Structure 1
Amino acid sequence: MGILSRFKDVMKVNINSLMERAEDPEKTIDEYMRSLNSDLGKVKAETASLLTNERRAKTALDECSAEIKKLMRYAEKSVEAGNEDDARKFLERKAQLAGKLSELQAAYDQASSNAATMKQMQDKLVSDIGQLEARRLGLKGKMTFAKMQQSLNSGSSSSGKVSSSFSAMEERVNQALNEAEALAELRAGKNEDDLDELIAQLEKDSNKEQD
């Protein structure tokens, strides 16, 4: 449960705020990406374990509930048959299982809550990793453009077409960065079908702008 105890720390991380405070954005991204990927691996392993526990708890709860219902039916049939002693035994056993049922319900509720919490952490980590990947992509693109600009400034600066092309390329990279960040932010709350539709729409909008 070590990674589960860090739920609040994981959930309160704000990538935008983290990057604004970074003195060396590239180094910060690389270091935090390693940390997030390590946490994600632990979360996935823990999630699998918790889901197994949840299924086991649900099975035990359902079996106990079914047994109680069965004992109640037996007691009713015994009464109808005039076997009050047998009916009493069935009801006593039912009362014993009622206490166990409460314990099993509490165990299932806890297991279900832990699994849901871990799933929420997994979604948050996937979103944060996506945002950092988008940031790294944008940072590398801007560094490339900066080198291109330096090269232009040190050489012939008479080509207006080259400058215009540079600006257009930079605008496209910034647009790609914004779209990637938007996908990362939505990833945690979207299922795969929703993401496929979102990606298709973003690609459609991007193609229209390029035309």
Structure 2
Amino acid sequence: MANILKRFGDIMSANINALLDRAEDPEKMIDEYLRDIESDLGKVKAETAAVMAAETKAKRELDECTDGIAKMQRYAEKALMAGNDNDARQFLEKKAQLVKQQESLKQSYDLAAANAAKMREMHDKLAKDLENLQAKRDAVKAKVAVAKTQEKMNKMGSSISGAGEAMAAFDRMEEKANRMLDEANAMSQLNARGDSIEDLAKKYDMDESSSSVDDELAALKAKMGL
């Protein structure tokens, strides 16, 4: 019993939050604490029931002794009224024995009652502390669930951030492709405007040469009478 109380006291007096902060798995750790405390509480409950039973037995024996004293007193009185002094003496002797026994039984009962009261108080405190730890466990598990959700969201946020960078890179590539296309279209438009000045001049040079040959051919025909 002393070991149970010492271990339970160590758990309750320790900084549970600090222990949980250092734990890799707070849920698992607090569940282990609770299992140990529930086991200890079961042992305390059994011990408390035994002490309370001892109290009940001591009280019953004391009450029986007290009733016996009162009974011997009544018998002694009846014997005296009947004129039987010897019977009355025997009843009073028995009463005296019961009175001495009553003192011992009273001491035993007082001790048993005190022990039972202490055990009940101890049991009730352990039960209340266990209830508080169970509430703390629920709070810890809720916080762990929130933390895990936040961790998942953080990972998703990182993925989204990477996707955003990829989209930005695609946008830059698309912008470059558009610029190349615009330049190609501009060049095509320039090429579609016609021949250059040099090409255009050559065309007229060719026309003048052809005209000179035609004039010379006509003059030669006239001279020959053709």
TM-score over 0.5 for the pair: yes
Aligned to 2:73: 72
1:127–1:10 distance in 2 versus 1, CA, 3 Å: farther
1:76-155 equivalence runs, <5 A: 76-155=77-156
Equivalent position amino acid for 1:40 in 2: L
| Structure 1, unaligned runs of 5 or more | 158-211
Question: Is it true that 1:37 corresponds to 2:41 in the alignment?
Answer: no
Q: CA deviation at 1:97?
A: 0.8
> Between Structure 1 and Structure 2, how many residues are aligned?
154
How far 1:96 moved relative to its partner?
Answer: 0.9
Q: Alpha-carbon deviations, 1:37-92, whole Å to 9, x = none?
A: 12111112222222222222221111111110010111122222332222222111
Q: Which residue of 1 aligns with 2:61?
A: 60
C-alpha distance 136-35 of structure 1, shift in aligned 2 (>3 A): same
Identity of aligned residues (%): 45
Match in the other structure for 1:18? 15
Equivalent in the alignment of 2:178: none
- Assess if the C-alpha contact under 8 Å between 1:7 and 1:121 holds in 2: no
Q: Distance in 2 between matches of 1:86 and 1:74?
A: 9
Quick one: which amino acid aligns to residue 34 of structure 2? M
The alignment yields a C-alpha RMSD, in angstroms, of 2.6
TM-score by length of 2: 0.59
1:143 CA drift (Å) = 1.2
Return the alpha-carbon distance in structure 1 between the equivalents of residues 31 and 128 of structure 2.
16
Contact 1:15 1:132 in 2 (8 A): no
Point out the structure with max Rg over C-alpha.
2
Q: So what's the TM-score if we normalise by structure 1?
A: 0.62
Q: Which string of whole-angstrom CA distances, capped at 9 and with x for unpartnered residues, describes residues 76-124 of structure 1?
A: 2222233222222211111111110111111122222222222222212
Residue identity matched to 2:150:
Q
Counterpart AA for 2:56 = R
Gaps of 5+ in 2: 159-226
In structure 2, C-alpha distance between the alignment counterparts of 1:75 and 1:55, rounded to whole Å: 30
User: Higher relative contact order by CA 8 Å / sep ≥ 6: 1 or 2?
Assistant: 1
- Whether the 8 Å contact between 1:15 and 1:131 is mirrored in structure 2 is no
Contact map agreement 1:11 1:124 (CA 8 A) in 2: no
